[in-house]
Amino acid sequence: MGVLDHLFDLFEITPRRKRRKPWQAFEIKVKMDCDGCERRVRHAVSSMKGAKSVEVNRKQSRVTVTGHVDPNKVLKKVKSTGKRAEFWPYVPYNLVAYPYVAQAYDKKAPSGYVRNVAQALPSPNAADEKLVSLFSDENPNACSIM
């Protein structure tokens, strides 16, 4: 019976299933002025196949989308509503080593956020960063040094 089962499995016709996009959560910056703008953006994104949740924060001009969707397609869909949109360019203030470096500090950023630029992150080879990480609690070899 093993051979017949094997042959049956080889010649069995089954429809190929499409691979789903991975589960993602991402944020988009959208300029919204009124409830109508917010409703239009929310409806455009939530009507997309694979979008599970859409959170709109008009005060911060932020739209958070989670689900099995392509971020570029969502951005294109939001732009089709006539709104200016881009991927969320900000990171929390406390995660940046040098928040006041040129181009990182943005007056239009929501409170507690700065722009995510390469200069705002310290280089890993900097001497002062090596010394700080030498005695850090996250360093597993710190006990051997002390």
Three-state DSSP string of 39-84: HHHHHHHHCCCCEEEEEEECCCCEEEEEECCCHHHHHHHHHCCCCC
pLDDT band, very low/low/confident/very high, at 100 (cuts 50, 70, 90): confident
Nearest 5°: phi and psi at 19?
-75, 135
Q: Output the CA torsion 87→92→98→103 (10° steps).
A: 30
| pLDDT of 121 above 60 | no
**What are 27's strand-pairing partners?**
64
Q: For 8-66, how does the pLDDT look when each residue is reduced to its tens digit (9 = 90+)?
A: 777 776 666 667 778 889 999 999 999 999 999 999 999 999 999 999 999 989 999 99
What mean pLDDT is predicted for residues 85-105? 80
In terms of Cβ atoms closer than 10 Å to its own Cβ (0-12, 13-18, 19+), residue 131 is exposed
Alpha-carbon distance 40 to 78, whole Å?
9
Q: Is 0.75 surpassed by the pTM of this model?
A: no
What six digits make up the tokens of 22?
């991975």
pLDDT score, position 144: 58
From 7-16, 19-28, 105-114, 124-133, the region with the lowest mean pLDDT:
124-133
Give me the pLDDT at residue 3, please.
Answer: 77
Section 119-142 average pLDDT:
63
